[in-house]
Amino acid sequence: MKDYLRLHFIVLLWGFTAILGKLISVPPVELVFWRTGLASVGLLGLLVVRRRPWRIPTADVLRLLGVGALVAVHWITFFLAARLSSVSVSLAGMATLALWTSLLEPLVLWRKVRGYEVALGLLTMVGLYVVSQAELDQLLGLGVAIISAGLSALFSVLNSKLVKQHPPLRLTLYEMLGACLSIALFFPVYSRYFTAGKGLQLALSGYDWLWLALLAGVCTVYAFSASVELMKRISAFVVNLTINLEPVYGILLAVLMYTLHVSGFEEEKLSPGFYAGTLIILLSVLIHPLLDRWDKRRLLKRNPVTA
């Protein structure tokens, strides 16, 4: 029970990332630069303290740094979506991750399309339609969040192959470094063409350092390392099913921020149609691992050797 409660706490922390992204004053690009830079330092420190090797072959370094660049774009679009709309709407868009994964896995891993995933994908599309009709003024943020979910799905599919070759902590270290370095290389173009003449806004103010410490240290380094440890004792099925609750926790936290009258969360007052559409999306998300487990058991019974 202690492990299960800890797992839910970790997922709650991941659901809190969109809230922190809204609280930190710097723009999304600079925010992700700070997050990945601080997370890299934290992960390297964790490997040193645990006396784990962190060096890998050059070819693998380049591959992981490339995946890290993909992570950077995913996080930038994620935080941008929360600022273009509301935290709740952006999390509803992010809940399409399972749909994106079901589309990308057959293409990247060359596996056959599963019928139940197509059906759940159609259910997700119905939920998205209901959400979009309920919140017409937040369509841009919803669209960016859906794109961010697609990038996250691609990252997850690629990682499913890479994690078999490298320990998770070392893998994440190089991906965080790749994200940070790719943003640093993008800074000259970004500051000239995408900041409306304001230039880079890396300076932190007010409580930014506190929120960044929570985002990078607690929600990234601690949450990831703790989840890896829990996976040794809890089945992957239970872990994945619990992680699917991240949008639920995030939306509940956003509503709490609105209830507490926190500045910047006024737009979290949403219509009943939004919650109906989000419920449909989350239903498809939560059903997916159950059907996936059923399908694997069915294949195992049919052909125990190859399954």
Q: Note the pLDDT tens digit of each residue in 80-94.
A: 999 998 899 999 888
Q: What is the mean pLDDT of the chain?
A: 86
Taking the C-alpha atoms of residue 176 and residue 224, their distance in angstroms, rounded to an integer, is 12
> In degrees, to the nearest 5, what angle opens at C-alpha 175 toward C-alphas 170 and 181?
125
Q: Of the given ranges (38-42, 185-189, 210-214, 277-281), which has the lowest mean pLDDT?
A: 277-281
pLDDT score recorded for residue 240: 66
pLDDT score recorded for residue 290: 80
CB atoms within 10 A of CB 55: 7
pLDDT score recorded for residue 307: 47
Overall average pLDDT of the 60-75 stretch = 92
pLDDT band at residue 140 under the 50/70/90 scheme? very high
Residue 102 contacts residue 117 (beta carbons within 8 Å) = yes
Overall average pLDDT of the 50-60 stretch = 83
Q: Of the given ranges (76-85, 105-114, 272-281), which has the lowest mean pLDDT?
A: 105-114
pLDDT band at residue 214 under the 50/70/90 scheme? very high
Long-range contacts at 2-10 (CB < 8 A, ≥ 24 apart): 3/230, 3/233, 3/234, 4/234, 4/238, 4/242, 6/226, 6/230, 7/227, 7/230, 7/234, 7/238, 7/239, 7/242, 8/242, 8/245, 10/223, 10/226, 10/227, 10/230
Q: Of the given ranges (35-49, 104-118, 193-207), which has the lowest mean pLDDT?
A: 104-118
pLDDT band at residue 31 under the 50/70/90 scheme? very high
Taking the C-alpha atoms of residue 146 and residue 90, their distance in angstroms, rounded to an integer, is 8
Percent of the chain exceeding pLDDT 90 equals 33
pLDDT band at residue 235 under the 50/70/90 scheme? low
Three-state DSSP at 52 gives coil
- Whether the full predicted model's pTM is greater than 0.95, yes or no, is no
Three-state DSSP at 305 gives coil
CB atoms within 10 A of CB 50: 9
pLDDT score recorded for residue 30: 96
